Amino acid sequence: MSPALTLTSTTELWSSASSIASVKARASYYNPRLEPQNYHTDGRAFSTNPATRLRQMLARPGIIVAPGICDGISARCAREAGFECLYQSGAATTASRLGQPDLAIATLNDFSEAAEMVCGLDPTLPVIADADTGFGGPINIARTITKYARAGVAALHIEDQVQTKRCGHLTGKQIVPREEFVTRIRAAVAARDAIPGDSDLVIIGRTDSAQVLGMDEALLRLKLAADAGADALFIEGVKSIQLLELTVKTLAPKPVLVNVISGGLTPSFTSKEAEAVGAKIIIFSLASCVPMVHALRTAMKSLRETGTDFAAAQGMGPKEFFEVMGLRDAVELDAKAGGTSFNSI
């Protein structure tokens, strides 16, 4: 089916009473405080609050590029490279913390504890975190929102797979009914709005339904997620740049997030190509952990064969390694406090 035909049929879906009869009629969510125009900086410095900062980034022109990080080392390296936003990948976190595949094995605590560590490295740097299905029903989702907010994340996404989910770029996915997905988004938004102090936490609605039920259903679900209060929308496994462009145009003005995994369902188009068709956020979920596997395999093979790690170290000693991990900042803080333990190091 061509993109033009898909857009036409989707429009018909939205205007068809039968297509939305199963979703309870409710007024569309509206919170005037969260209007994008309220986050234009007009040349002023960005907020030090990471969620507010992300909203300001969404309100400016251009795409947000967020590399997937899996642990403290990858987060440090991404910051060193100059990225303004990070993505805590669920697949990468599961692999790093548990040594397991992305098959709903990691728990809420696994994810939130990892997020707390990453966000603590630079409390001003926005982190978008994978929240899987929200880890249960509305009450569980509310708890997820609270824990992620306390961890310091700027945004999170909740999807429409069943609880025993899998990586969005694997086959055989199962999807919950439309009504359940919308309920998940409503629960997330309500929990965010209940946080004292007017939290700016960004709620992202994600659908994995394109590969299971088709693009029409995927776009309809994202439209319903937007009506339920999602601040941004995430279509997983979009199979061409043309379909990404269709998604952006159909869901405008809501910002659209796209996930690129080399070798996955989505072609490996660049951030510039995604920006050219209007995508607002692009994440590269496995940008840290896949290269890490290649590097570690090479290093371990070398150590096994040569009996030394000298070649793999490439001249990086302990001090140089710790400097990447923030050694200088730690020493300076100790000195400012009057400490003398690290005068020589």
Write down the catalytic residue from 87, 148, 186, 245: 87
Is 86 within 8 Å of 78 (Cβ atoms)?
yes
How does DSSP assign 65-91, residue by residue? EEEEE-SHHHHHHHHHHT-S-EEE-HH
Task: Look up residue 129 and give its DSSP letter.
Answer: E
Residue 51, both tokens: 């969620």
Residue 295: half-sphere exposure toward Cβ, Cα within 13 Å: 11
Straight-line distance from the first to the last Cα atom of the chain, in angstroms, rounded to the nearest whole number: 65
Write down the catalytic residue from 71, 160, 236, 245: 236
Handedness of CA 103, 241, 10, 231 (dihedral sign): positive
Which of 208, 215, 211 lies closest to 242, judged by CA?
Answer: 215
Give the three-state DSSP class for 13: helix
Write down the catalytic residue from 184, 216, 259, 289: 259
Write down the catalytic residue from 55, 79, 159, 245: 159
Write down the catalytic residue from 71, 102, 216, 231: 102
Number of H helices, E strands in the chain: 16, 8
Write down the catalytic residue from 53, 55, 79, 157: 157
Can you state the angle between helices 289-306 and 90-98, rounded to 10 degrees?
A: 30
Known catalytic residue at 87: yes
Known catalytic residue at 148: no
Known catalytic residue at 71: no
How does DSSP assign 180-228, residue by residue? HHHHHHHHHHHHHHTSTTT--PEEEEEE-THHHH-HHHHHHHHHHHHHT
Write down the catalytic residue from 49, 53, 71, 132: 132
Known catalytic residue at 198: no
Known catalytic residue at 169: no
**Omega cis (within 30) before 101:** no
Write down the catalytic residue from 39, 206, 227, 245: 206
Distance separating alpha carbons of residues 339 and 76, to the nearest angstrom: 25
Known catalytic residue at 130: yes
Known catalytic residue at 60: no
Known catalytic residue at 29: no
Write down the catalytic residue from 70, 85, 119, 167: 167
Known catalytic residue at 132: yes
Known catalytic residue at 206: yes
Write down the catalytic residue from 71, 130, 208, 217: 130
Give me the active site residues, please. Answer: 87, 102, 130, 132, 157, 159, 167, 206, 236, 259
